[in-house]
Chain A
Amino acid sequence: SYDLTQPPSVSASPGQTASITCSGEKLGNKFVSWYQQKPGQSPLLVMYRHTKRPSGIPERFSGSNSENTATLTISVTQAVDEADYYCQAWDSGTVIFGGGTKLTVL
């Protein structure tokens, strides 16, 4: 089965850049989506097709994908960005989620 690996936690100070990685074999050949989930809420799509932001997602969210790693970058991190973030891809007919990364804004 295909696995996506994320660091359990990432921290950033307000105004700094936070980067969350997602690793998988030949992930660069797959389309990666990212979701933000705050406590008590449903996940929210924040990035798809590596670099595309859905309507309403701030420009400080950006994405990249190469070889075996996809990265979600949040520039000028704000307290409101504190949440769990999940990467997701499709492989051989099934949907795979990463284990999630808790972003703490210190």
Chain B
Amino acid sequence: VHLQESGPGLVKTSETLSLTCTVSGGTVNNGGFYWTWIRQHPQRGLEWIGYIYYTGDTTYNPSLESRVVISMDTSKNSFSLELKSVTAADTALYFCARDNYFYDSGSRESKFDSWGQGTLVTVSS
């Protein structure tokens, strides 16, 4: 499976960041995976933003929940990220990834076995 992010590389402060992840070699309409957005601030670690299931159910990072919407377009085999009211602190490399999850004895494993190449989004006035 191949994932490819697309969207503007520059967003103005207070506006909405919008990115799309197009999936090839597999379908997003598949209950075996959660489709995920992850970001990485410059020279920093990874931060999980949230994910969407094929049913449309979503879960978001509590620290971003008030500003994030993740949606899916099965006709385009893609899923998207919207992050509202952005500031310079949202400048980061944004990745989409596939969570090949697993459940066992009430515990869940989340593992990201396919990633996009990442797209750098800069927020500036």
Q: A33-B111, A48-B111, A88-B110 are in contact. Are A42 and B95 (CB under 8 A)?
A: yes
A96: Cβ under 8 A from any B Cβ: yes
Is A90's CB under 8 angstroms from B95's CB? Answer: no
Q: Which parts of A1-59 form the interface with B (CB within 8 Å)?
A: 1, 29-31, 33, 35, 42-45, 48-49, 54
Is B112's CB under 8 angstroms from A100's CB? Answer: no
Q: A42-B95, A42-B116, A49-B102 are in contact. Are A95 and B110 (CB under 8 A)?
A: yes
Q: Which parts of B39-54 form the interface with A (CB within 8 Å)?
A: 45-48, 51
Cβ-neighbour of B112 out of A29, A35, A49 (below 8 A): A35
Contacts of B115 in A (CB 8 A): 42-44
Is A95's CB under 8 angstroms from B107's CB? Answer: no
Kindly report which residue of chain B lies nearest to residue A32, judged by CB atoms.
Answer: B109
Is A1's CB under 8 angstroms from B109's CB? Answer: no
Q: A31-B108, A31-B109, A35-B112 are in contact. Are A42 and B117 (CB under 8 A)?
A: yes
B: number of interface residues (CB 8 Å): 24
A63: Cβ under 8 A from any B Cβ: no
Q: A1-B62, A29-B107, A31-B102 are in contact. Are A45 and B48 (CB under 8 A)?
A: no
Q: Which parts of B74-118 form the interface with A (CB within 8 Å)?
A: 95, 99, 102, 104, 107-113, 115-118
Query: How many residue pairs between the two chains, A and B, have CB atoms under 8 Å in the bound complex?
Result: 65
B61: Cβ under 8 A from any A Cβ: yes
Kindly report which residue of chain B lies nearest to residue A93, judged by CB atoms.
Answer: B59
> In the complex, how many angstroms separate the beta carbon of A53 from the nearest chain B beta carbon?
12
Is A49's CB under 8 angstroms from B109's CB? Answer: yes
> In the complex, how many angstroms separate the beta carbon of B43 from the nearest chain A beta carbon?
10
> In the complex, how many angstroms separate the beta carbon of A103 from the nearest chain B beta carbon?
14
23 contacts between A and B (CB under 8 A): A29-B107, A31-B102, A31-B110, A42-B115, A43-B115, A44-B115, A49-B102, A86-B46, A88-B46, A88-B111, A88-B112, A94-B59, A94-B62, A95-B61, A95-B99, A95-B110, A96-B48, A97-B45, A97-B46, A97-B47, A99-B45, A100-B45, A100-B46
Query: What 3 A-B pairs are tightest by C-beta distance, nearest first?
Result: A31-B109, A95-B48, A42-B115
